[in-house]
């Protein structure tokens, strides 16, 4: 099984986004264009169009291999088709590592549009190409972001790293001093009182540090009540599911707070937002039956990656999408 | 009772060879599990760097790795507890009960492993519901039944040996209050016999006491998942289940660490020839640790969840307070005793000393992760395995190695004057471990998600990929090193006295 191709595909999709917008409303091609957008949004996590099998089968020519009615029903309600024991669906399940096709809440109309696009073999778009690059984690895989851009030097992660490094160096220095000072033996009573005094101050300083740290870190929390929606807030509804994202809208503006209302459909996921420089901005849990809000104000346009940060099943690592941030 | 008891316990083991060999059997089995899990850890890291495993096998092995590492700690601490009950309290636990716990642990591990390796059960460890029940077709319902039945056996066996300790401590120390060191608060002359227990009795009693809360919570959760797996109408709320999971799993790992720190409390006074008695500040901070670990420390797992904001703050403060006793008095007290002690730096001392250093490193990582402002960018990244590998793999496990290197020659009544193999074991573990854990910390800061078969490197800084690849040689050194104690102790068992 090839893995990681979905990552490269997501990058290709991101680059193709402006072109996709221009194609909208092109008369007879409208259904195909809509199908292409749907395909790229919901299908490319697992399928390619002409570049071979991925987590699921290559869908090039699938309209010739399967009856149209069967395809439409399987796209709309794959869970029920499988539950009914459909032999073709079961055979596919067995062939593709027992990864069940999830119910992506696709309507019949949307399924028809997707099939219309698939029938073009991807020619209408070209961009829905397939992962032809090596797996993202393989040596030599292309990185779409700079090694450590200017944004990185200013990120919270750097401050965390410095705090941690300081703690490790101080601890290591103390342990080295004691290691060197372990010889020769001296009477314990000589310095027992000094050690007791140090211990009291050390304990008190840890308690004070705890209180200060608790207060100091709270303003960084990305969700209510620390950050809450206002009247002008843009709302993005996010639903995580094995192994994709339903998100509406997918384009937001810089400078205005965005409230992400995140939930899950099947199991626990985590909505992690990564900026164009590769900095993880925040994450919140995507849990079935519950909604978690996170508020963030973008100050830079670009393509932001959404990663699932909570292990959710075998295709967890390809559960990705993007958010476009525009001026 | 303190230092005399420590000396006797640390240097004079029971004469009953069959009992001694039972303890050694617990430890050797645990070491075998550790070695297998370490090699699997290497395979996982290698796969993340170069991608040669199928997805199904990567996540199966990931589940196996976590579970068997936890099992290693459970089984090792069990051996230590049997030894302490016999030596500290001079109570003879019937052989059948110790054998039953051993075989329950073994059967549990076997069932869990069967469900994972044969049935494909791969929800990761610990098993965050409802994933075990919604595998997207990756594993069958029977695999869930088999693996979780194995977990139930392990939980029952752990409850059993912790109960044995509580009963023994209650009988021998004059009540659980005494075993928790509360006598230090009594006015002078009010303490019957004027005795206080040594700190390791407090540590192990605290472990057993909180285990009586955490383990039944775990048993309840596993039973709930099992029931829902077979009767879908059974309710299971994802948020409540997540609370239960961490109340069980996070607390279990914490208390096992307390048990292994009992080894430090026991061996440091003997090695340095300096007494370590209970005193009020130590007991107060221990009580804070017991309450916060038992009740609130797991709260930092919920900071990103749809919970009231008060829970977020309580989780943060509880997490901070739960590690206070370690940094403020326990490790401080051990290090203080080493100063000008004229100690001989033999391998078991190196394991203890370096283990304590790495526990503090892990705690610094935990401290940063437990603040909700930082948690939102560190949680679910490799920072999390970084911090728990620091104080488990390079802390807890090292204390266990020190315990084995100290006791196995005594228990088998065979000596090995050469310290070459334990020394090589120490240095390979330290170098490989620091390299691997260091790569986890850095990758975590770079936003690399944990528990992924392949990383989304096109979305992350390019350095993330280099860090993954650079860590593989360290993982190799670390994994190979774990064959050494297995070989060393097995050789000691089979050689002539």
Q: Cα-flanking dihedrals φ and ψ of residue B89, to 5°?
A: -105, -5
pLDDT of residue B325: 84
What's A234-326's CATH class? mainly beta
Mean pLDDT, residues A233-258 taken together: 94
Show which of residues 262-321 on chain A sit within 8 Å of chain B, judged by CB atoms: 264, 266-268, 270, 272, 274, 277-285, 287-292, 305, 307-317, 320
Helix (H, G, I), strand (E, B) or coil at A135: coil
Summarize pLDDT for A153-196 with one digit per residue, the tens: 568 899 999 999 999 999 999 999 999 999 999 998 888 899 99
Where are the domains positioned within chain B?
Answer: 2-494
C-alpha closest to that of A58 among A50, A66, A70: A50
Strand order in the sheet with A234-241: A244-248, A234-241, A257-264, A292-297
The answer to whether B166 and B212 have CB atoms below 8 angstroms apart is yes
Whether A17 has a pLDDT exceeding 80, the answer reads: no
The answer to whether B444 and B369 have CB atoms below 8 angstroms apart is no
B79 in A contact zone (CB under 8 Å)? no
Q: Is A202's CB within 8 Å of B328's CB?
A: yes
C-alpha closest to that of A108 among A76, A143, A86, A155: A76
pLDDT of residue B38: 98
Whether A10 has a pLDDT exceeding 80, the answer reads: no
The CATH superfamily of A5-119 is Cytochrome c-like domain (1.10.760.10)
Q: Is A314's CB within 8 Å of B306's CB?
A: no
Whether A307 has a pLDDT exceeding 80, the answer reads: yes
The listed range with the strongest mean pLDDT (A109-118, A218-227, A288-297) is: A288-297
Q: In chain B, which stretches have pLDDT less than 70?
A: 1-7, 189, 191-194, 497
Q: Where in chain A is the domain with CATH 1.10.760.10?
A: 5-119
Chain A residues whose CB is inside 8 A of the B139 CB are: 98
pLDDT of residue A143: 45
In whole angstroms, give the CA distance from residue B181 to residue A286.
44
Tokens of B9: 């316990």
Query: Looking at domain B2-494, which CATH architecture does it have?
Result: Up-down Bundle (1.20)
Interface predicted TM-score (ipTM) of this complex, two decimals = 0.94
CA atoms within 13 A on the CB side of A43: 29
pLDDT of residue B66: 97
Summarize pLDDT for A26-39 with one digit per residue, the tens: 444 677 777 877 78
In whole angstroms, give the CA distance from residue B420 to residue B484.
11
Whether A100 has a pLDDT exceeding 90, the answer reads: no
pLDDT of residue A83: 83
C-alpha closest to that of B302 among B381, B257, B244: B244
User: Predicted confidence band at A66 (pLDDT cuts at 50, 70, 90)?
Assistant: confident
A219 in B contact zone (CB under 8 Å)? yes
pLDDT of residue B315: 84
B16 in A contact zone (CB under 8 Å)? no
Whether A295 has a pLDDT exceeding 90, the answer reads: yes
- Closest partner residue to B316 (CB to CB) among A97, A144, A214 is A214
C-alpha closest to that of A104 among A155, A55, A38, A169: A38
- For a pLDDT cut of 70, what percent of chain A falls above it? 80
Mean pLDDT, residues A49-57 taken together: 79
| B136: region left, alpha or beta (phi > 0 left; psi from -120 to 50 alpha) | left
User: Predicted confidence band at A97 (pLDDT cuts at 50, 70, 90)?
Assistant: low
- For a pLDDT cut of 90, what percent of chain A falls above it? 40
Residue A323's DSSP bridge partners are A304
Residue A241's DSSP bridge partners are A244
In whole angstroms, give the CA distance from residue B84 to residue B240.
37
């Amino acid at each position: 099984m090839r893995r990681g191709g979905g990552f490269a595909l997501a990058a290709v999709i991101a680059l193709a986004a402006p072109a996709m917008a221009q194609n909208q409303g092109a008369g007879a091609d409208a259904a195909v264009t809509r199908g292409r957008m749907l395909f790229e949004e919901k299908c490319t996590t697992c399928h390619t169009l002409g570049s071979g099998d991925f987590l699921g089968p290559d869908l090039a020519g699938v309209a010739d291999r399967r009856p149209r009615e069967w395809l439409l029903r399987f796209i709309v309600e794959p869970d029920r088709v499988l539950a009914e024991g459909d032999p073709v669906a079961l055979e596919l399940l067995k062939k593709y590592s027992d990864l069940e096709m999830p119910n992506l809440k696709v309507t019949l109309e949307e399924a028809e549009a997707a099939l219309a696009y698939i029938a073009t073999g991807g020619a209408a778009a070209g961009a829905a190409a397939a992962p032809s690059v090596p797996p993202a984690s393989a040596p030599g895989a292309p990185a779409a972001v700079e090694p450590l851009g200017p944004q990185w030097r200013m990120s919270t992660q750097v401050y965390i790293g410095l705090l941690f490094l300081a703690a490790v160096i101080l601890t290591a220095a103390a342990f080295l001093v004691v290691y060197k000072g372990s010889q020769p033996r001296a009477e314990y009573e000589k310095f027992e009182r000094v050690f007791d005094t140090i211990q009291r101050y050390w304990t008190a300083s840890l308690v004070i540090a705890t209180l200060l740290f608790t207060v100091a870190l709270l303003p960084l929390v990305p969700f209510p009540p620390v950050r809450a929606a206002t009247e002008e807030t843009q709302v993005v509804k996010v639903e995580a599911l094995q192994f994709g994202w339903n998100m509406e809208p997918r384009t937001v503006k810089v400078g205005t707070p965005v409230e992400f209302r995140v939930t899950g459909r099947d199991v626990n996921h985590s909505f992690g937002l990564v900026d164009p420089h590769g900095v993880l901005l925040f994450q919140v849990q995507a849990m079935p039956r519950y909604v978690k809000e996170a508020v963030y104000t973008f100050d830079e346009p670009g393509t932001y990656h959404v990663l699932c940060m909570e292990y959710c099943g075998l295709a967890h690592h390809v559960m990705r999408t993007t958010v476009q941030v525009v001026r | 009772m303190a230092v005399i008891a420590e000396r006797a316990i640390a240097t004079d083991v029971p004469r009953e060879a069959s009992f001694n060999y039972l303890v050694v059997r617990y430890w050797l089995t645990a070491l075998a599990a550790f070695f297998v899990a370490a090699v699997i850890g290497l395979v996982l890291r290698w796969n993340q760097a170069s991608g040669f495993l199928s997805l199904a096998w990567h996540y199966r092995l990931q589940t196996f790795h976590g579970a068997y590492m936890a099992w290693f700690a459970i089984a090792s601490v069990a051996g230590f507890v049997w030894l302490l009950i016999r030596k500290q309290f001079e109570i003879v636990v019937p052989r059948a009960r110790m054998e039953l716990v051993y075989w329950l642990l073994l059967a549990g591990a076997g069932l869990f492993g069967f469900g994972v390796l044969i049935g494909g059960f791969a929800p990761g460890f610990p098993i965050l519901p409802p994933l075990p029940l919604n595998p997207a077709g990756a594993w069958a319902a029977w695999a869930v039944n088999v693996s979780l039945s194995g977990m139930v056996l392990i939980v029952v066996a752990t409850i059993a040996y912790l109960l044995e300790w509580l009963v023994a401590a209650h009988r021998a120390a004059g009540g659980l209050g005494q075993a928790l060191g509360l006598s230090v608060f009594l006015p002078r002359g009010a303490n019957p016999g004027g005795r206080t227990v040594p700190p390791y009795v407090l540590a192990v009693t605290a472990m057993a006491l909180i285990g009586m809360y955490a383990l039944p919570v775990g048993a309840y959760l596993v039973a709930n998942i099992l029931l829902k797996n077979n009767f879908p109408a059974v309710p299971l709320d994802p948020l409540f289940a997540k609370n239960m999971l961490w109340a069980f799993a996070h607390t279990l790992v914490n208390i096992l660490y307390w048990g292994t720190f009992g080894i430090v409390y026991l061996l440091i006074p003997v090695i340095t020839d300096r007494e370590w008695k209970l005193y009020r500040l130590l007991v107060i901070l221990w009580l804070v640790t017991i309450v916060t670990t038992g009740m609130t420390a797991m709260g930092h797992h919920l900071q990103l969840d749809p919970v009231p904001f008060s829970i977020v703050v309580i989780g943060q403060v509880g997490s901070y307070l739960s590690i206070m006793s370690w940094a403020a008095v326990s490790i401080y007290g051990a290090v203080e005793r080493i100063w000008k002690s004229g100690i001989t730096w033999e391998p078991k001392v190196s394991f203890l000393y370096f283990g304590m250093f790495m526990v503090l490193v892990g705690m610094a990582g935990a401290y940063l992760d437990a603040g909700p402002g930082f948690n939102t960018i560190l949680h679910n990244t490799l920072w999390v395995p970084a911090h728990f590998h620091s104080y488990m793999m390079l802390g807890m496990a090292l204390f266990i190695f020190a315990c084995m290197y100290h006791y196995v020659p005594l228990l088998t009544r065979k000596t090995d004057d050469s310290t070459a193999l334990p020394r090589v074991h120490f240095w390979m573990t330290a170098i490989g471990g620091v390299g691997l854990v260091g790569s986890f910390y850095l990758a975590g800061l770079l936003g690399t998600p944990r528990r992924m078969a392949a990383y989304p490197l096109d979305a992350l800084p390019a350095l993330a990929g280099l860090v993954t690849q650079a860590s593989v040689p360290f993982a190799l050194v670390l994994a190979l090193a774990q064959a050494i104690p297995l070989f060393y102790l097995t050789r000691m068992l089979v050689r002539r006295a």
